[in-house]
Each structure stands twice: as C-alpha cells, then as structure tokens.
Chain A
C-alpha cells in the first residue's frame, strides 16, 4: 500500500475510461491499449486510486478535434470501419491509415477517449482545479494535422496544449518517449508560445526527425529542442547528464506557466520497439524532476510496447505525481501473472552497451545550450501582463507546502546543485563574457515585472542560484515573508 513519505502533496486528477483496454489494434500489432487497464488495476491495488480525483473523460467531439486536425481527416476517422474500408481506399492512403495505423473496431471512439482525457486534463489545469492531471491513454505524439502516423491517429497532446494556450502564454512540452515527438514539434514548429523538447533515439529510427539542427522556424526558431541519443543510454546518464541539466536550463530560459510531459515508456530497458536502457527509476526521476518546479503539469502516456513494464512505469509515475512511495512488491491484481517471475515493481537494466559516450552527450548538450541562449529573455508578447492564474496557484501551493518545510529545503538544495553545474557549463562554453552577464541582467530586469502582482517580492536578489528554477520558488518565499 502506498505511504505518504514525500512532503509536497499535490492535487492529482486522473482520467481513465474502463473501456479503453478493450480496443484492439489487431493481431501482431505492438500497440496494446490493454496496458492502460493493467496500469489502472495496479493503481487500484496499490491504493493510489483513493488518493486522486478519478474522472471518466468525455468523448472528444469532432469539433474539439478539428481545433487542430483537418475536418476532412477527422470526418474520415469517424466514418471508417473495418467493414467499409474498401470504400475508403484512396483516403486510407492519403491519411496513412492501414498499416501501422490500422482500422480497427471502435477506432474513432478510442481516439475520442484518449483525446477527451488529455483535453479534460488541460481544462482542469486551466481552471486551477488541480496541480497535476494524468491521462495515460493520451500522449499519442506522432499524429499529424491530416495524417496518422506511428500508431497515433489524433494528436491529443496538441489539442491539450491548444487548450492550455488559452490561459497560458507559454507552454512547455517535454517528450521522453524513445521516439521523436514529431507530431507535436511539427504542430508548434513556428510559434514561440510552445517550446517542444524531445529526447529520443536518432539515426535509422522512426520517425527519422529530431535532428539536433531542427530548431524550429520563423517565430518558432529556437523553440524546438531536440536531443538525439544513441542506443543503450542508462538511468544515470539520461537523468544527470541529459534530462536534468537541459530541463533546468529550459525552465530558466523559457519560464513556461504550464508543462506537458509525455511519458512514453518505450524508452525503458527491454521494450519491444525501444533501444534505451532506462529503468523505472530513471524514467520516473524525470517526472519527479518536472514535478518539483511547481508548474501545472499534464502527464501523458505515449509509446511502450512491453506492456508489463509500461504498466509498472505508469503506476510508479502516478505515485510520483502523488508524492507517495509504493512498495516494490506488486500487489495482487487481475493481471498479477503478467509480472512474473519476480512480481516486483522495479525492473533491472540490461547489460547492453551504452553507445552514448560522455563526450557525445556533453557536446550535444553544449550545442543545445548555445541554442537556448539565443532565446530572448523575456519572450516577446508574453511578458506584457502577468498571468494571474499562475501566481494564484503558486500562492496556494506555497501555503500547502508550509507544513512540509524540511522537504522543500531538500528540493532547494538539489536545485542549487544543478544550478552550479549549469553555471559551470555556461562559463566553459559561453562565447563572450558580455553575453553571459547581459543575460543575467535581463533576468533581473524582467523578474520584478512577473512579480508585480505577487505581493512584496523583496528577496529576489538573495537567491541568485534559485533562479535556475522557475519563479515559483521565489514566490513561495514571498508568500512566507
């Protein structure tokens, strides 16, 4: 059973429809919606269920879906069935439906439920009615505006982000699926209101995009961040050398007011289609890290083709979202036998070789830091007014957290350590002294603006290290002061 160990409690809303596990992509297809049901049953039996608001999501309407997708494409998805496929031959090719994205019974309903959960989560976050929204049925990041791709038909992520954008000036999208999050990147390739960050295997691998040099276009230039990786990356390298330093920098430079995290579990060791060597701990550490920024967080599913590990992973990450620790011994549940022979929650990494040398990762990270330095410090339009909502929630959170003060110090310590690392890197690779200091000045000049409404923000200067984390930290301090 779950026990509360971690200090910071957060409100978590969880979206799940009991039917989702019964959709079936077809014989031999690696995508198995059943993994969501396995996750759900584990969540129940671990006692996590009783700690969240559980919602059965609405079925997203055609109108909702066409906020991004083309009318013709959605109409097609709504009409096509296994028994009338032959009439749609031409369209199936046009929309790339048939092979990897097969027509199966209830396809449209499946898309409706997956999308419904993600959009509902976004609405919930917009209303500030929750801190974290979780939809493991979502995260289908390959779907394009008028095209299915890589087992994805409707891009629930893009639709959820569009919803968030109504109330949030800047939304950060993070993708830890082993595949590049091409659908989301493409949708927001030319805007600076969404930054997409994807960590993925690159090179002779689906979908073929996600090059280091793909950085966005037009106004969106530098707002697409791609971290190409090679086979076999392990927990330590992934979290400490790749994810944390980069995300620290991104959070500092971009300062999003909402974060969408795609938790594709095909980056785990032993995935049927993946090639990384992560365990639940490394994967979950990414979620934990983003959670600590205290920014509204939408946590979505994604890939994951060794379903026993997918359900382990997402169960664990639900616990992470709740800030509770769960036992390594799996509780009995309807699918208990799937988890043999050990019946444990955590998995071990394999002995596969890690083809990412420290130098390689360092160089990529450096290059990405250089790109991030190109960002304007106060992203144009966004800084004119301060989003009230963000500050309000932060204040509420700060109050929530007061009981658990010791824990926060802990958090702060971690963040400081990272900032040191980051600063060191910056020194090492910065092109000129002036540029660096100018940036810091920029930071300072815009900070007070953001705090305009956040009461008496007197102590912005004292914690220069804490700046690496978003302003929420300082606001917490404000609230206490």
Chain B
C-alpha cells in the first residue's frame, strides 16, 4: 500500500512510451484536474544516454585534466600548510566534474561489468519541469546527490538507486556543477580584531546603549505579578467604561474586558512594574493617575469599523501591497500601523472565513496519490517466434520476450533484462549490440547533424510531440535563446512596468511579479544565462540557486520546439510517422529508430516548398463568410459622430427630474444601508473618490458574521453618499445611459474604476 502511495518529493519512474526506458522524475506537485484526473508536475532528470555523447566526452576529457591539476595543487597545499601563515586558496573546484571519471581509483576496483552498469546509475539534474499524468507512474526510485564519502559501488547494490552530480541544461546543452563558492580575499573576509588580554581591558566606562525594560532581579513572586496583571486588566476595563469612544465600540462589559486583556495592556503592566522599580503600590498608583485610569489600545482597537472596512476592501483589491493600500485607502495611517493591524486582522473571523475559501482551492493540490501497480499487457511483448538470444544476457530461454531496438533488427530481451532496460536505460553487459543500440537509440554527436537538437528531447515523448499537436497539457512555448537572453537582460535592468513581450504589455507593480509573469506566460528561462558565460549585467538573484525561494511554478513544462529539421523529417518519413494518425492518437509512440534508419539510408529529399493556397483572410472568412466583396449592410456601419444622439443640456432642470434623481439616490442609500449596517459616518477619503469610485455605492457588502471581537461591534452608523462634481461629470460623460440605468437598478453589484470606466462592470 505504502509503496503505491506517491507523495510530493518522491522520485519516480514515468512511462511515456512502451519501448523506451522509463523517465526519472521528481514529483513537485500533484494537481487534481477538474475532470478528476491527477497530474504530476515533475522535475526532469536525464540519463547519460539522453545527453549528447559530445557533451559527456567533453566533460570526461575535461575532468582528467582537472584531476591532474588538483593532485598537484593538493600537494602544494599540503606543503603550504606546513609553512602555515600564508593564505592559500583551496583547489579551485571546477564546475564540470564527472564522478565516474573523478574516481579512477575506485573504478579500477570495479569489474568492467560494474563500470558499465554504473553508467546507468548516473543522472543529470535539469531544472526543466513538465506535467505528466500520474497514471504513467511506474514505481519509485531514489536519486541522491553523489557525495564523495559514498562509494559508487554502493549504488549498484541497491535497486532503483541513482545519483547525480551535474546539472544539465537541455536548452543550452551544457553541464555544470550546482555548487556555490566561498570566496577568499580581503573583499570577503572579516578583519579579525586582536584579542585583548584581560589585564589590558579598559574597565568599560561605556554608556549602556541598550535600554533595560525588565529585570528579573526583584523580590516579586509569580503570584504577585499575576495579581498585578489582573488589576491592570481591571483598570483597563474601567478605563474603557469611562471612555466614550470605547463604550460605543464595545457595548458590553464583556467586550471591554476582552479588549483590556489584550497583550498591549500586559506589556504596559510589565513596563510600569519596571519603571516603578518593582514596587507594587507605586505601580498601582501609576495605573490611575489623576488624569484618569490608563487606557492601552492596540491597532486592533484603535481602528474604527469604517477603517476596518476600507482595509478589507483595499486588501481585496490590492492584495497585501500595504504601501499602495496606505496611499490609496488609508493615507492617515502609518505603514507600521497598517502592518500591525493586518497581522491582528488575521485573527478575526472575517479572515478565517476567507481562509476557508482558500482551503477549498487548495484541495486541488494533493499531498499524495495512490497509483496501483501497472499490470497491463505491454505492447512491447514480442509475439515473434525467433531464435535470437537475449541481447543483454544471451540467454535463450525466457518466459516472455520483449522486442527491443529498431523493428527491422528484430532484437529482443528476456524477461529479466527487460525491466533492467526500462529502469536503467541500458543492457546489463557491455556488448557490441549496445553500441549499435546506442547509435540507434540515443542521440549521438554524429546523429545530431541529421536529427538535431529536437530529437534528444523528442525521444520518448509521445507522438504528439513529433507531430506538433498541442499535448494534453499544453506547455508554454519556449522563447528562442536569443529572445530569452534579451528578455532576461531587459528584466535585469528594469525595475517594474509593462511586460516587454510583443503582444503583451501587461503592467506590473513589482519586478518579481513581472518576472513570474514572463516565466509562466512567455516561457522565459531564467537559467539560460547561468549556463552560458555568466552575464555581468545579470543580477544574481534571477537564478534559482541564488534564491532560497522555490523555482517559479510553471503550469506545464513539456513543450515542442519544431526545428526545420523536424519539419523535414516529418515530410520525409511521412509513411512511418503517419501524421494524421498520430494527430488523432497523440499518445501512441513513434518508432524513432526506424525513422532514423530511414533518414540515414534514403537520400535527403530537398524540401519542396508547397504552394500557398490563397484562402483569404481569416477575418474575412469568419466575419464575411469568405465573401469580402459583399457590401456591408447599413446596419453594420457605425453611426457617424454627427448623427449621434446628444443630450440636451439642461440649464434649468425641471423640478420633476430633480425629484427623480433624489428618489434614486435615496433608494440606493437605503439598499446600501441594509447591506452594510455598520458602515460608519467617516467620510470617504478624498483620494478614494478619485482613484476608484464605486459605480453607485461603496462596494463592501460583506455581511458581518457574529464576531466576539470588541472592536467589530455592530453599530449602525449614519451614512450618505455624496456625489462630487467629478462623479457627476463621470456619470454624464463616461457612462452610457444604459450603464447608468443598470447601476441604478443594482446599486451594490457594480464597481468600476474611474480611470477605465468602460471596463465596468
């Protein structure tokens, strides 16, 4: 049971094609889709065979040089250590080191078979995310960052254990170590002060710069302090009874007592104790000076009900951007008091209500999912009777056989070697056949000229990828590398403002939001520049490993980039791919090996550009039924401005129309009053009426839920809505008659932004 329960953070095998090895992924998120399916958002790990051999051999070759360098450096360092005092720099850790090559001594102790199998255990982390259906999960595995204390051999003895040490960037085709660096030099280290011998120490006549606010060295016992605290609360309750504004807010004694028991009173009590030198009687007297009993109120109590309403409305509109909330809604409050209030507001019932709504949303994010064992007949089961031996272990007997490799070669694996192939992506023994297999099955440097970049990412992907259909989880098309870099640079230099992508131009208040937007909506890849030469104008913080925050969650991450070569391939191998069939069956797999063989054997067919058919403009087709020549009927033509209806300016309005307007106002006011009984008589702040005016009334219509909180008493307040001249102007100029009518009828339903009145409601 537990074995089939998959949780966020688990490393799992995914089957995306029956003939290829599983893909190794880490579950980052489990999402329940509206139709009840579960999707897994996963982080991709690549196998050695998934990465071009050029890159692997480059890293390997590079490594041997580094090895030599390090050895000699280590010697130097040991010598340097003897001669102490000199500052020596530690061996420079090269970004690209491959553990398999790194430990030749260890490897020497392994048999050739083990060395061969070890290569199947090495993975490369990528920061690429994709979304896969959870039903394609085929079991758990374990992926760990290789640690030098571990022997590589230990991985061979564990099933489903993999290691990684390098990060692969599939877009840039680079490998690098994900490793920060401690820098050495006067620019980085602290200057350590000399130690002062006790005899040389000055008797520290320093003035105490920190303020003592409480000291435990007093004669009072716990009980006395507790009693004193009770008295402070009582005084506070009495003070609220005397205070007019409090008695309005807290109509019951119970509420006053609750308000007087908040932490502000208690902190004050401790302060008083300290200031009166822990003399209880003095402290008591200072609680009730001649001016009246001391009243301590925190922000929660200080704020009026109308301010609370304004705050909630602002929060709904602006989110937790307290600077903007202050500027546009509560300019008479300090930012500190708004933040203070916010955190207290979160303890109220109103917030709890909102949280429940959020909790329902969160239900779609699952913590775990149960996937039963996969027992379906695998399509790779070979029915061919053949005398061929297992390609991996050369056995001739097996209960079941699985066809493996390109179809025309009719290779097959036994029932033991097949799961090995699926899990580890290789054959158990280094054979000639595997060399063939790797030419056929994995991307090689040479192959790259024929079936380039796209192939490595396309292999193992469903047919949809090759055909270019949107996959069931359409990803965001990635930007080209150049465009990506340009965008990253732009982001680096700009602070906020509109998105610079063509056809977008969305405005953002904060750069972080803008970056997030670009990543999710435009497929911006922040990691690209890290892989390339570090770009000096890139702020470090744009990269993942430089931020403690998790990487931006993208909606989906497997995408298709159709290169010209892929396009050509589609055309040339039409018979094998059967694009129409594949389009209808996006998940059926395409036999890449055969395709490759086809590409290698047949001469290249130059692409014959197809003649473009003139099908007319799509707009014309859709709007005019493909007959743009038909003259527009008169009713489709816009009314010329001079024929537009103009309201007759009423210099001396009729009494009747005035009455009508008054009645309308009264009706609106009555409705609003009924809906929000406690909107206070505080006038609407001036800037509110400029920046965003509710269509006919103030929008906040949330009913109060019975709330014990003393500050949220249900006091009906008088209120009125004053139409200022600017509002009147808007009504006259920016609103259509229809809109005004609609607003008048449903005064509380609509709100609109003064600046963009046309967008309302």
Contacts and interface: CB of A to CB of B under 8 A. Distances in A.
B548 A207 contact: yes
B214 A49 contact: yes
Contacts of B264: 334
Contact of A166 (B84, B193, B540, B547): B193
A352 B9 CA distance: 8
B637 interface: no
Given A202-B145, A208-B179, A366-B149, A53 B81 contact: no
Contacts, number: 275
A13 B387 CA distance: 83
B321 interface: yes
A367 interface: yes
Interface in B183-213: 183-184, 187-193, 195-198, 201, 204, 206, 209-213
Contacts of A158: 190
Interface string B81-97: 10011111110010000
B289 interface: no
Given A186-B188, A207-B548, A55 B212 contact: yes
A299 B433 CA distance: 63
B180 A207 contact: yes
B43 to A, nearest CB: 9
Interface string A176-194: 0001101001111111011
Contacts of B89: 217-218
A162 interface: yes
Contact of A26 (B90, B150, B510, B541): B510
Nearest to B326: A105
SS class, residues of chain A in contact with chain B: loop
B182 A100 contact: no
Contact of A190 (B93, B181, B189, B209): B189
Given A50-B222, A55-B210, A334 B344 contact: yes
A93 to B, nearest CB: 5
Interface stretch (B32-40, B129-137, B333-341, B407-415): B333-341
A82 B541 contact: no
A37 B298 CA distance: 14
Given A53-B215, A214-B182, A99 B512 contact: yes
Interface stretch (A384-392, A415-423, A467-475): A384-392
Interface in A426-458: none
Given A21-B343, A96-B539, A360-B147, A57 B210 contact: yes
Contacts of A23: 339
Nearest to A69: B190
Contacts of B211: 55-56, 58
A139 interface: no
B182 A273 contact: no
Contacts of B188: 144-145, 186-187, 189
Contact of B195 (A56, A70, A93, A168): A168
B259 to A, nearest CB: 11
B24 to A, nearest CB: 14
A337 B347 contact: yes
A207 B147 CA distance: 17
Contacts of B145: 202-204, 230
Interface in A231-248: 231-232
A167 B149 contact: no
A324 to B, nearest CB: 11
A260 interface: no
Interface stretch (A27-35, A288-296, A395-403): A27-35
B180 to A, nearest CB: 3
B419 to A, nearest CB: 23
Contacts of B298: 334
A75 interface: no
Interface in B244-259: none
B495 A85 contact: yes
Contacts of B323: 82, 105
A96 to B, nearest CB: 6
A28 B263 contact: no
Contacts of A366: 149
A52 B510 contact: no
Interface string A249-271: 00000000000000000000000
B492 interface: yes
B580 interface: no
B222 A1 contact: yes
Interface residues of A, number: 123
A214 to B, nearest CB: 6
B180 A208 contact: yes
Given A24-B339, A27-B320, A203 B178 contact: yes
A55 B216 CA distance: 12
A193 B192 CA distance: 8
Interface in B303-339: 319-323, 335-337, 339
A166 B193 CA distance: 6
A285 B192 CA distance: 31
Contacts of A228: 147
Contacts of A151: 548
B192 A167 contact: no
Contacts of B339: 21-24, 34
Interface in A342-375: 351-353, 355, 359-360, 363-364, 366-367
Given A162-B190, A334-B262, A352-B7, A209 B546 contact: no
A165 interface: yes
B302 to A, nearest CB: 14
A334 B347 contact: yes
Given A44-B263, A58-B210, A28 B320 contact: yes
B511 interface: yes
B216 A51 contact: yes
A87 to B, nearest CB: 11
Interface in B473-511: 492-493, 495, 510-511
B546 A55 contact: no
B380 interface: no
Interface string A10-44: 00000100110111101110100010010001001
A45 interface: yes
Interface string A147-173: 001110000001001100111110000
B267 interface: yes
Given A151-B548, A334-B347, A120 B209 contact: yes
Interface string B547-577: 1111000000000000000000000000000
A212 B548 contact: no
A221 B81 contact: yes
Contact of B511 (A70, A99, A169, A204): A99
A275 B8 CA distance: 11
A363 B149 contact: yes
B51 to A, nearest CB: 18
The 5 closest A-B pairs by CB, nearest first: A208-B180, A203-B145, A58-B209, A209-B180, A99-B541
Given A27-B319, A185-B182, A217-B89, 10 more contacts: A28-B512, A30-B549, A34-B339, A44-B267, A50-B222, A53-B214, A100-B549, A204-B125, A219-B87, A337-B347
10 contacts: A21-B339, A26-B510, A105-B335, A189-B182, A191-B192, A205-B545, A206-B548, A207-B545, A213-B148, A219-B84
Interface of A: 1, 15, 18-19, 21-24, 26-28, 30, 34, 37, 41, 44-45, 47, 49-58, 67-68, 70, 82, 85-86, 89, 92-93, 96, 98-102, 105-106, 116, 120, 123, 127, 144-146, 149-151, 158, 161-162, 165-169, 179-180, 182, 185-191, 193-194, 202-215, 217-219, 221, 224, 228, 230-232, 273, 275, 303, 333-338, 351-353, 355, 359-360, 363-364, 366-367, 381-382, 385, 387-389
Interface of B: 7, 9-10, 81, 84-90, 93, 125, 142, 144-145, 147-150, 154, 167, 178-184, 187-193, 195-198, 201, 204, 206, 209-216, 222, 225, 262-264, 266-267, 270, 298, 300, 319-323, 335-337, 339-340, 343-344, 346-348, 352, 492-493, 495, 510-512, 515, 537, 539-542, 545-550
